Chains A and B, each alone.
Chain A
Amino acid sequence: MDQTPLILGDKTPGDVTNDISRLLEGRPTALWWMAFLAALSLLGLGAVAVTYQIATGIGVWGLNNTVGWAFDITNFVFWIGIGHAGTLISAVLFLFRQRWRTSVNRAAEAMTIFAVMCAGLFPLIHMGRPWFAYWMFPYPNGRGPLWVNFRSPLVWDFFAIATYFSISLAFWYLGMVPDLAAVRDRAKGIWKKRIMGFVSLGWNGSYRTWMRYETLYLLLAGLATPLVISVHTIVSWDFATSVIPGWHTTIFPPYFVAGAVFSGMAMVLTLMLIARKTMHLEDYITKTHVGAMTKLILLTGSIVGLSYATEFFVAAYSGNEFEQFVFLNRAMGPFAWAYWTMVACNVITPQLFWIRRVRENFVFVFILTLFVNVGMWFERYVLIVTSLHRDYLPASWAGYSPSLVELATLLGSFGLFFTLFLIFIRFVPVIAMAEVKGVLSIGRRRKNAA
């Protein structure tokens, strides 16, 4: 059975450790510094915007009495969706024994953590009185029988996201322990050695350690897997359980999950292609990896496209005039530009991945993944804004356009994401060395030679 090797360059396990650990040991490159400063600036901008907003009021956003959510929840769903690819790659593909995942799972999981952090920010700051955000938590209090409303999808959201974040963090950290030990072993400075020694939890590479590690990893993968489905399903219930035409739709859970994986894969690819080029990981991230991920994008993108069509069909078939209007209004109303941007990016773009030459041209793939990212942001924007801005009573119809503060907050969330990601690639092995060593082709070549 001939297979294209997953890792090129006839690497030995030692080469892998050298290649990956080297990235953490030298001084940061000028490129890294530039990227870091850019990300930090965006983060600073976002911090100023959010501070201003909390000090002044939600009024500094472009929202109104009719459109009560727009950028805030769009960004929230967008970032939560991004996170899903990480969990899919690390947990689901692990259970399905997809060996190619080893090169990307570390970064993908990191992406999940950071994306969920970005996502979690928005429900917090979108509140009129964010200093009372802890009221969402059902803790025993001195306010008599006052409790949270377990009928509210926002409470479900709170639990879903909190669970998701903790499991993802645990899973990511656990997977990193053997690599941290490797970094510890190579560390020169005493402090680095001590810190890495502490965070690698006394890893000694013994069989027993490995066995326990593998068992726990498998268990956590099993725990994380349902979250891939549940988290975005619950997020979709924010909309599906409402009475607003365009939101009140039973198709949302599968549609949201497919969309999340779709956008997350695109974001992983975007990040990995940048990392591959700038950190010289060409041997570790190859046509095989990119090809596998583009195929997943193609699959989930097609599901998303089908969902769009299904929504229209159901609206037409329902005989519900409000529902029908919402969809006609999406395609031909004031926000038609956003709708068609979404369709172009999410339905048409991924279909190009049927072509092998496109899949193998990394510049193309990179550009297409950017389109998918944009498209998936617009999907949530269209879903939220077009459904709200013209609902039941024509007299309450309104428009919406974002304020500068909202735009700054969106940019700030990207700033936060990339700042964290850049710190991550400087301090933690960006590729799961321990796992990659398991899929090297050395063993296979010897077998072939023999």
Chain B
Amino acid sequence: MSEPRPTNPPEVIDDGLLDSAYTSLSRRRFLQAAGFTFVGAMVYGCARAPEEELLPLLEQPEGMVPGRADYYATTCGGCAAGCGILAKSRDGRPIKLEGNPEHPISKGGLCAVGQASLLGLYDSHRYRAPVRDGEESDWARVDAEIREHLDRFARSGAKVRYLSAVVNSPTKQRAIDDFLSRFRDARHVMYDPARGTAILDAYEETHGARVVPHIHLDRARIIVGFDADFLGTWISPVEFTRDYTAARRADRDGTTFSRHLQFESTLSITGAKADQRYRVAPSSRVAVLSQLAAAVARKAGRPYRRSENATDSLPQGLIEEVADELWVHRGESVVLCGADDLTAQLICNFINDALGNYGRTLDLDRPSFQVQGSEAQLEEVLGEIAAGKVDLLIVDGVNPLLDLPGKGAGAAELAKIRLIISFAQRPDESSALAHYICPDHHYLESWSDTEMVQGVVGFTQPLIRPLGDTRQVVETLAAWSGKERSARAQLQERWGTGRQWEQRLHNGFVKKSAASFRVGGFRTAPVFAARAEKFSRGDGFELVLYTKAGMPNAGHAFNPWLHELPDPITKAVWDNYARLSPAAAERIGLSQGDVVSISLPTGESVELPVLVQAGQHDNVVAVAMGYGAEASRRFESMGPSWIEKKPTVGDNGLVGVSATPLVVRGSSGRRFSGTQVRLHATGRKSELALTQDYQSIDVPAHLAPASGARRPNIQESTVAALAVSESSHSAPHHKGDLWPEDHEYTGHHWGMTIDLTACTGCGGCVVACQVENNVPVVGKDEVRRNREMHWIRIDRYFSGSGDDLTVAHQPMMCHQCDNAPCETVCPVLATVHSEEGLNEQIYNRCVGTRYCMNNCPYKVRRFNWFEYSRDDAYENLTLNPDVTVRSRGVMEKCSFCAQRIHEAKAEARRGGRPLADGDIRTACQQSCPAQAIVFGDMNDAQSEVAASISSRRHYRVLEEINVKPSVGYLQLVRNREDGEGRDHHDG
């Protein structure tokens, strides 16, 4: 079998490149590693030493414990949200990212993308050195040549264009500005591959500043969302999830539970959590917003001069009711619009202003910098490129050839540019055209700062010496500007040195008491002047281009952890697809897996398999962006090979298909929704891989027993019902056992609760668990065969349909049953019960009869069907040394992070103190943005988990079969009338 490896074969690991990664561990190497780790530990706990060059120490410093992890505060580079992280460093290499609980923005949460961004560091396909015309080169030569070019460009007044992703690092911004200042005609343009800037344009018109307000969902009593997936993908989902759930704690006084209404065209994570959700096609979005604005304006006594008719029929009087609710909570409400539609954004701003939300739930004095850029500027630059006028193009963190459609972003047009310099970390479509590739560091190798919100700055510090001969962009730019200065020096120039600097690095962030941002007063005129985009609703479909929570853009397409993360809504992996509502699919005679061609009137088309999506608008076809990237070609041979293996990649050799051809560029920039498209069946099939085959909480109607179709594992309630009943569920009466208690649990008895009201199903825990517990990636074909290996399965259940669709997410992992059915059936005692209630799997004793898996009522055991490949030596550096890597033929499952329990107990023992509640945080619990998971000792009456278990919302799944699970759930509570939507079920 030949396995193609485009670049950087893992064998290179021996050439000394990975010195600091210590792959072959001699005693000397080990001590070097140990010393390296201490460099940081010396300063103070989590801080890093001020050495310029990170040189390993030759002697082991006192206090350094080999094998003990250190944590360093830094800032996630997964997206522009800038969440605070604590990077876990073991023997000199970062192996796990955790949320930083003290961080003012992310407050301890970290999403799936953030968790998975660790793998970017150890990507064996990264550029290891600068590349000059396709050949590896060295910095001295590349710098010299580029300086020459730049001098010439500076003299001749050439057009220099710097194209980058969102930059919210003040230091980097200044480095770019400094660099560009040499040129007479230079511009820096930022763009997001999957999002436009209509929201910035709107604020520029209504408030006179290109910013986005900092949204405080915790202050909102009512949230109305219009295509704003704020819990999943929009602006700062981790922060929003945390704030959102903080205002929706069902165990507090019911009156503090916020209410959330969502109007959207396709089902999002946010829509799935909404108390009420209505389907609105993009063509009706402005009309619905406008009607709401009119109703609110009437109450506020303000003039409103727009009138639009919605084509979507919403329930009679709904808009009026929503307006009433908003008005009652004026100042404590928020209306959010996530669509890239200027008119919709303007009307949204009008509503928020009429409700007095600015300054309260929407903070414009300390706005967010997480959205930046300008579609108009991007349009201009693309025009210049198309006209062949650009002399130097610098590409930083984006991939225009893949990201951008149409004129100016084609390979032929880019080829006309005299010089293209790319800072790409790994090969992509655009870097292939670059004359020079000056690879940037991964953020875990970098020094940086991030001002995600006015007044809050997060710091990024390196966790490891760069694995390759790469250089951070700010250093590269400084070198070319002739003012060579290290990234750290640039950073210190701004943030100081000495004790204060160390403290800031240690914390990972600083809160500035800087003057607040200046924005003007609200200007109404643009709201009424804006013309609604013309939508012709023909017999075709309206296209909605969205991003998945696990794939923000094609820059992450190299990451197998993200590809294998089941989409929170569709549960599909390793693909993008055309989502159609059940009615729409039936109307055009297509079913799941049929390949459909989606074509624009201009002829561009894309072929994708159909995924039938409940809760989607019947006239909408939704396609995820960020797929079909060249970086995913590496997955050609993904997965175990055997005679019936099917490839993980599609016919194009890539994961998914790029939806960029379907993005239409207009005068106001790129349009991601509302475009009219036609669908044609191609007659081909392409089987999708879903981790969940059956979608509903109801069993099929024709198989339903007399007692009803609904399964009892999801229990729901409403705020109103909880307020009137003391105990909303009755525990199944337990008549006692014939058997004596097998286990005493005189010490600890570990337990977990999961709050279904809080859980958004985002999947952060799934990746956190995967990284922590060395869970292998198995590829699309194995998932299609229902052999995914994730220890956490987030079960997603639908009930009802259309506007009445309700969605429940239920994370499902090993329940560590006290009467574990798996334990009794194992013939060789490979799964046994610990004194502390853990169901322990002994890998080296397991012979693989799979009887335990069959007998598990939760079906959470995972079998190693094959020897899953671990042949990428770089990738293996992410492996957690505290957790066994399992071989084929053995069973595995969630262990409640047994290694963390042991570590915490050892720490407590060393400190001579009893183990305290909260000392142990499982990987899934640690970074859950919603704080839905509570873990602890059930024998400790004071513990958080004991309090959670005593909640009246607490129930256990399948309690009736008396397996006595240690995992419990808190009922899913919605803030809605009983009559609204479908009847609730309370067990």
List residues of chain A with CB under 8 Å of any chain B CB. 52, 56-60, 62-66, 68-69, 123, 126-130, 132-133, 135-136, 146-149, 151-155, 158, 238, 241-244, 319, 321, 324-325, 328-329, 332-333, 388, 390-399, 403-405
Contact = CB atoms under 8 A, between A and B. Distances in A.
A138 to B, nearest CB: 10
A151 B862 CA distance: 22
Given A56-B642, A149-B828, A388-B854, A65 B786 contact: yes
B845 A135 contact: yes
Nearest to A128: B848
Interface string B241-267: 000000000000000000000000000
B565 to A, nearest CB: 16
Nearest to A329: B703
Given A149-B829, A393-B957, A68 B850 contact: yes
Interface string B782-819: 10011110000101110000000000001010000000
A347 B705 CA distance: 25
Interface of B: 640, 642-644, 692-694, 696-697, 699-700, 702-708, 711, 713, 782, 785-788, 793, 795-797, 810, 812, 821, 824-829, 845-851, 853-855, 857-859, 861-867, 888-891, 957-958, 961, 963
Contact of B703 (A128, A146, A242, A333): A333
B694 A394 contact: yes
Nearest to A133: B847
Contacts of A62: 785
A397 B693 contact: yes
Contact of A66 (B703, B711, B859): B859
Given A129-B847, A148-B828, A243-B855, A65 B702 contact: no
A60 B707 CA distance: 40
22 contacts: A64-B787, A68-B850, A128-B863, A130-B847, A149-B829, A154-B825, A154-B849, A238-B851, A243-B963, A244-B855, A244-B857, A324-B706, A325-B703, A325-B704, A329-B703, A392-B961, A394-B797, A395-B694, A396-B858, A396-B859, A404-B644, A405-B644
Contact of A56 (B788, B793, B828, B866): B866
B829 A393 contact: no
Given A65-B786, A126-B849, A332-B703, 13 more contacts: A57-B865, A58-B865, A128-B846, A128-B848, A132-B847, A135-B845, A243-B857, A244-B855, A392-B713, A393-B957, A394-B696, A395-B797, A397-B693
B791 to A, nearest CB: 11
B846 A129 contact: yes
Contacts of B697: 394
A391 B853 CA distance: 12
Contact of A59 (B824, B857, B865, B958): B865
A325 B711 CA distance: 11
Contacts, number: 196
Contacts of A241: 824-825
B704 A158 contact: no
Contact of B827 (A56, A57, A149, A398): A149
A152 B847 contact: no
Contacts of B865: 57-59, 63
A387 to B, nearest CB: 9
Contacts of B812: 393, 395-396
A244 B854 CA distance: 8
Contacts of B795: 393-396
Contact of B705 (A68, A321, A333, A403): A321
Contact of B825 (A52, A63, A152, A325): A152
Given A68-B854, A135-B845, A244-B854, A403 B644 contact: yes
B713 A404 contact: no
Nearest to B842: A146
Given A57-B867, A68-B853, A242 B702 contact: no
B842 to A, nearest CB: 10
B805 to A, nearest CB: 16
B560 to A, nearest CB: 18
B692 A395 contact: yes
A147 B858 contact: no
A147 B829 contact: yes
A242 B855 contact: yes
A75 to B, nearest CB: 15
A70 B703 CA distance: 23
A147 B855 CA distance: 21
A325 B699 contact: yes
B793 A151 contact: no
A128 B862 contact: no
Contacts of A319: 707
A46 B693 CA distance: 32
A64 B785 contact: yes
Contacts of A238: 851
B713 A321 contact: no
A395 B829 contact: no
Nearest to B639: A59
A155 B824 CA distance: 11
Given A154-B851, A324-B705, A394-B699, A66 B827 contact: no
Contacts of B891: 128
A405 B644 CA distance: 9
B860 to A, nearest CB: 8
Q: Looking at B787, B849, B851, B890, which has the most chain A CB atoms within 10 Å of its CB?
A: B849
B627 to A, nearest CB: 25
Closest 5 CB pairs of A and B: A128-B848, A128-B889, A59-B865, A395-B795, A324-B705
A241 B821 CA distance: 9
